[in-house]
Each structure stands twice: as C-alpha cells, then as structure tokens.
Structure 1
Amino acid sequence: MSVESASLIDKHISTNVILSNIKNPAAVLTLSGKIARLNRRCQQFLPNVREGRLLGDYCEEAGVFGSLRNMIRHARSISGLHPCKLQTKHPEAPGSWLGFFSVLCSQITHKPIAILLEVDDHKVERENRIAALDQDADKRLIALRQFHQDGIHDALTGLKNRRYMNSFLKMECDLIKRQSTVGTLVVVDIDHFKRVNDTYGHNAGDKVISEVANCLERRLRESDVACRWGGEEFVLFLHNTSGHRAFSTCEELRTLIQGHQLEFDSRSLNVTASFGITSLQTQDSPQSVFARADKALYQAKTMGRNQVQVA
C-alpha cells in the first residue's frame, strides 16, 4: 500500500488517537486487507510486522470466517463488533489468538473507510485508556466515541460486556456445528442483591458486584470467558468443558463466593449466588442455549438459591 493511501485514511479518521490509546495489539487495515497503521504493542506482538504489508503475510483467520478476505467482507457488510480467531504464520509469535474487528467509517463521508483489528491478549480497562487520552478536547471526543462504539469490557468489573458475549457466543455456536467442539454456558445471579442495595446503598452494591467478578475471574482458566451481563447477573463460557466437570467448576465458584467476606464501611457482608448451566449442542443458537441456562437458573432460584442447577 502506498503512503498516500494511509494518509488518505488519516484524513477520514483519527488513526493515531485511536491506536495510541489501545493497550492491546491493534491495527487499522485498508478495506483490501493491508496494514495502514499499527500501534507499538502490535509491533511487539507480531515480529517483523510492517505498515504497507498485507495482514495475510503474518496471519490467517482460522475461525468461522475461514479467511481474512471473508472476515473483511463480513465487516464491510455488517456493522458492529465481530470476534475472530487468528493463526499466526510467524514461528516466534503466539500460535493462535482471539481478536475482534469492526468497520471504521469516514468522519467526512460516513462510509466504510478502514477496518480496526484488536487482539485480546490481556484484560484492558476502558477507564484507564480514557484517562490516558491526550488533553486535546477534539481528540478526546473522537477517541471516547470510538471506545463507546467498540468497547468490549464492563466499566465496573473489567470483565467482558454483554455486547462481546453476544458476538462470542454466536461464533461458538457456529464452530460447534462445523467442528463438534465442546463448551458450557453458565448464567450466574447474585442472590438477594436488591436487599443489599436497599440496606447498604448502591456503593455497597457496586462493591458486591466487583468482588463477585473477582471471585469468578480468579477461578476461571485463561481459555474461559467471563462477562457481566447486566446488573447482578454474569455469564460464563467454559471452553472444552461439559457434564460433571462443568458442574464441579460451578460448585467451586459457588463455594468461593459464599466463603468470601466483603468489607464495606467497617461492616462485613456475605453474599451467595445461584448458577444455571447448560452444555452447547450442535443445533444450538445463542437464543436456545441462553434459554436453557436461564431455565436452570430459575430452578436454582426457586429451589432455595445458592446452588447449581443443570438444564
């Protein structure tokens, strides 16, 4: 790609502002798949990566899209955040990793102008990125809008958010149809959460949500995904786990939460949580697997709470 092409993209979107405030490896691609701009973390993550080269020189899409060309075509036709699985071609870089991509529209024409690709190699909290923005008001506004559009983390807990889980689960349902993979969806709900808010206030409620999130994240493996679904509800995806093993994992999580003592304003709080779990099946859609997990959670609630139920 010529320098003029990268410069043209820079005239339509603020690539430097976007990339300099993303701590994960990230790159802006042309609509033909060439690397227009990349951040420093991306240069460290993919050795010898260069602007102007095709992304396909360094990696390939190994998930539901099957190729980088299909991935980019999908991004151009459907707006939103889309997960992908990237397989590196370089022996010194990690073998495969989860990424997510979205189309970037021109601030002038409002038409697709580029693709933003970010690699999820560690947890990033959006507040830290926003706090580190340049003090220039216009740049801050542009970057802040970008984070709201493409953010995948919950601001309170640092876990993945509902938007991310929706896209991720769709990808997993597609994969199980093609490759017969194994996975379990878990819905977690903090018991009597309204009572905590009413008795101790919303600050205490936020503290409870954050502490439960820490318990979940501390026990789960790196390959698992934890999401704050909304309010006091969480959604987990356990990779390559089903049946008794999934139940045992959730029992450990339930026990960990029950035994965790929270301190708030010199007072001790104890909370419990209910779990509904279900394994993915080849015919599943995101809607059907969520419906089963919700049914199991409802059973856990009606049978006394603080327990794990399977559907």
Structure 2
Amino acid sequence: MQNFWKNRRVLITGANGFLAGWLAKDLVGRGANLTALIYKKNPVSVFETEKINRKSDVIYADILDLRSMKRIMKEHRIQTVFHLGAQAICQVAIKDPVGTLDANIRGTMNVLEAVRAVNANIHVVVASSDKAYGIHKKLPYLETYALHGEFPYEVSKSCADLISQMYYATYNIPICVIRSGNLYGGGDSHFSRIYPKTIYRLSRGLRPQLRDNSIRDYVYVEDAARAYRMVAEKMKHGLVGEVFNLGWNRPVSVLRVLRLIAKTMKKPHLKPETSNRSSSHIPKQYLSAAKIKKMVGWKAEISLEEGTKRTVAWYIDFLKTHKFRLHD
C-alpha cells in the first residue's frame, strides 16, 4: 500500500527511539508527511544516523505536556499516530518507578486525550509489550490473557494498554495495540540490552555478561516496524479496537543468544561470565502471533541468525565512527 502513505500526515512519539527510528525510515520512504516528536537527541538512533530528521518536521516536546500534544495534533492536522514514546528499560523502572509510571501511563493518556479533544477520527497505533501480561503459566501468551504486571515497568505497560482499550471502548477512537516480544537490531541506544552490550563487549575483547538465562522471543526490528505499518494500513478498512501480539514464536535462552553473537563475531572463545542476577524479571515468556498473521497478514521473516548478522554489522560500523566508553 505504497500510495496509502503518500502525503499522509503521521505523528510518531519518541520518533528517534529504537523501533521508532526504523518505522520513521519506512514511512518517510513511502512518502509520509512525518511529524517527529522527540524528547531529546539520540545519536544512536537510525532516525539520526540515517538523517531521517532532515526529512521530517521535528518537534521537541514532552508527552507529559497535554497542551503541547493537543497543539501538535491540531496544527499538523495529524491523521495517524504511532505512540512509541515511553520509558522502556526495566532496570530504570526499578530505580525510578514514579518516573516510569508517569511517562508510560500519563504519557499514553495525554496522547489519547489529545486525539479525543482534537479529532476522534485520528487512527492510533499504541506500542505495548509482552511485559504487560505479567507471568502466565500457559505458553505461548494469547491476546485474551489477562494483563497483570507485577514489577514497575510491567505495571506501567499493563495500565497503558488498558487505558488505550478504554479510549476505544468509551470514545470509539480507532485504536490498535501491539504487544511485542524482545526487539533487536541496529540503532538501539540502550547498551544495557543484550545485543548492543554484548557486541560492544566482544568488540573490545571482553567476555559477554549473563545476568539471567530467561527464555524470550526475539523479533528483528525491521520486521516489527513492518508490522506496525501493516496494522495502520488495515485500520483504513475498519480494523480497529484490536490487540495484536508480535512474536516469532521460537523462544530461545539468553545464553543461546550470547553464544550466537559470539559465533557471528568469530569470538566463540570468549565465554559468558555471570553478572549480578536480576530478581525482578519474568523467567519464561513468548507470544503467539497467530492473530496478526490471520487478520493482518504479517509474520516474522528475518531469522535470529540473519538478524544477528545484520545487527552485529550495524554496531561494528557504528562503533568505528563513534567513540565512547560503556560503563558496566
């Protein structure tokens, strides 16, 4: 649906984030008129490394400022919103629960309230997470499972997810919610995450760190960006009020991922070392993506092996031209 995006007025919150950067690249390439809401600069993001910011109307603002959100929606006559702005790191949430709850819950509420106040016909795709489900014994997780996060980040996503569904049910705003598994790929500035941190350490001759050996679903970031775009396209044809899981349904352990990265970088001799174990994590979690395949036609295409090759290549190239030191 190339023509669908031609001159379509799109707002992405957190536009220079990890997933958002790849989504912005895709949409701008398809002719979208992109308004990019940014809180602060992010030199690692594809949004900035590939100069997508020069092809967008960049606005520095805070989703916690409801007045600004209303003004942006109105002045830019937004037609589609991708709400990806959030505090997305679990460990940060442990240290700052109030800030995380505020950003992820009130931030989501402000975006949706601005839509309701300005134009309730704006299409909205909200980024949720597999963490919103909390812990369930039966796997894989289905969209019908209850949301009951226990830890600060998980609770923030459970609440934001439910608030999004509330705005659809109560005000008939065309909203879809996407709950994704672990995303990986180039352009992730959070070097606490497994891929950027491990690639950085191995590139310096350091052993990878194994914090926990949890089981997760890993989805390559460009596959995820394509899913968000496809869901938004389907909304034009009446697909609204739906929640979709985004997963590969091929769960793997953290240890396997560490070994795959080391193998890809030709450094299998650097064996993982155990670091401080996190107690506030879900030990095993992965999603069924049957619904999004059936209703939207999306399925993951990039294998873990191929995605790892692409991710390693991206960071090696990035680290050659950007000098910084990672502190554990």
Whether TM exceeds 0.5 here: the answer is: no
Normalised to the residue count of structure 2, the TM-score between the two structures is 0.23
| Greater RCO, CA 8 A, separation 6+ | 2
Normalised to the residue count of structure 1, the TM-score between the two structures is 0.24
- Name whichever structure is richer in strand by fraction: 1
